[in-house]
Amino acid sequence: MAPFKIFSRIALSLVAGAALFIFVAAAVLGPYHYSFNGRIYPGVSIGGVDLSGLSPQVAAELLRQEIRYSFDGAIAFRDKGTVWIATPAELGFVLDANNSAQAAYSIGRTQLQSYGWVSQFYPMAIDLPPQFIYDERTALEYLQGLSGLIDVPTVEASLGLNGAEILLNAGQVGRELDVQLALVALRPQLQSLQDGLVDLQVDESPPVIFDASEQAEIAREILSAPLIVRDPDSNPEAPVEWVIEPETLAGMLSIERVEPEDGEAFFQVGLRNSELQAFLRGISPGLSRTPQNARFIFNDDTRQLDLLEESTTGRELLVETSAEKINRELGEGRHQISLAFDYILPPVTSQSTAEELGISELVSSQTSYFYGSSTARIQNIKVASSRYHGLLIPPGATFSMGEALGDVSLNTGFAEALIIFGDRTIKGVGGGVCQVSTTLFRTVFFGGFPVEERYSHAYRVYYYELAANGSVNTNLAGLDATVYVPLVDFKFTNDSENWLLMETYVSEQGRSLTWKFYSTSDGRTVEWSTTGLQNKVDPPKPHYEENPDLAKGVIKQVDWAVEGADVTVTRRVIRNGEEVAVDVFKTHYAPWRAVYEYGPGTELPKEAKEQGAY
Count Cβ atoms below 10 Å from residue 420 Cβ, excluding itself.
19
Q: Give me the pLDDT at residue 425, please.
A: 55
Q: Tens digits of per-residue pLDDT, 266-290?
A: 777 888 899 999 999 999 999 999 9
Q: Tens digits of per-residue pLDDT, 551-569?
A: 998 988 877 888 989 999 9
Q: Tens digits of per-residue pLDDT, 239-265?
A: 999 999 988 888 888 877 777 877 777
Q: Tens digits of per-residue pLDDT, 190-218?
A: 999 999 999 999 999 988 766 667 777 88
User: Distance between CA 549 and CA 405 in Å, rounded?
Assistant: 35
Mean pLDDT of 104-128: 67
| Residue of 211 and 181 predicted with greater confidence | 181
Q: Tens digits of per-residue pLDDT, 522-540?
A: 999 999 999 999 999 999 8
Q: Give me the pLDDT at residue 32, please.
A: 57
Confidence class for position 114, pLDDT limits 50, 70, 90: very low
Under 8 Å between Cβ of 347 and 394: yes
User: Distance between CA 206 and CA 174 in Å, rounded?
Assistant: 6
**SS3 call for 461:** coil
| Range with lowest mean pLDDT among 167-171, 172-176, 382-386, 555-559 | 167-171
Q: Give me the pLDDT at residue 25, please.
A: 46
Q: How far apart are the first and last CA of the chain?
A: 190
Query: For residue 16, how many C-alpha atoms fall within 13 Å in the half-sphere facing its CB?
Result: 6
pLDDT at 20 over 70: no
pLDDT at 300 over 90: yes
Q: What is the pTM of this model?
A: 0.63
The radius of gyration of the chain's CA atoms, rounded to the nearest angstrom, is 60
Mean pLDDT of 289-317: 97
Q: What is the DSSP string of 193-247?
A: TS-EEEE--EEEE--S----HHHHHHHHHHTTS-EEEE-TTS-TTS--EEEE-HH
Q: What is the DSSP string of 143-190?
A: HHHHHHHH-B--B--EEEEETTEEEEE--B-EEEE-HHHHHHHHHHHH
For the chain, give the percent of residues with pLDDT over 70: 86
Close Cβ partners of 265 (under 8 Å, ≥ 6 residues apart): 208, 209, 257, 258, 259
- By C-alpha distance, which of 175, 241, 247, 222 is closest to 332? 222
pLDDT at 155 over 60: yes
Mean pLDDT of 103-122: 64
Q: Give me the pLDDT at residue 15, please.
A: 46
Q: Give me the pLDDT at residue 417, please.
A: 52
- Cα 533 to the center of its chain, rounded Å: 66
> What is the DSSP secondary structure assignment for residue 263, as one 8-state letter?
S
Q: Give me the pLDDT at residue 158, please.
A: 66
What are the two backbone dihedrals, phi and then psi, of residue 437, each rounded to the nearest 5 degrees? -65, -35
Confidence class for position 594, pLDDT limits 50, 70, 90: confident
Q: Give me the pLDDT at residue 542, please.
A: 87
Confidence class for position 122, pLDDT limits 50, 70, 90: very low
Confidence class for position 428, pLDDT limits 50, 70, 90: low
Q: Give me the pLDDT at residue 595, please.
A: 84
User: Distance between CA 56 and CA 38 in Å, rounded?
Assistant: 8
Under 8 Å between Cβ of 357 and 499: yes
Confidence class for position 7, pLDDT limits 50, 70, 90: very low
Query: For residue 142, how many C-alpha atoms fall within 13 Å in the half-sphere facing its CB?
Result: 21
Q: Give me the pLDDT at residue 277, please.
A: 95
Q: Give me the pLDDT at residue 24, please.
A: 45
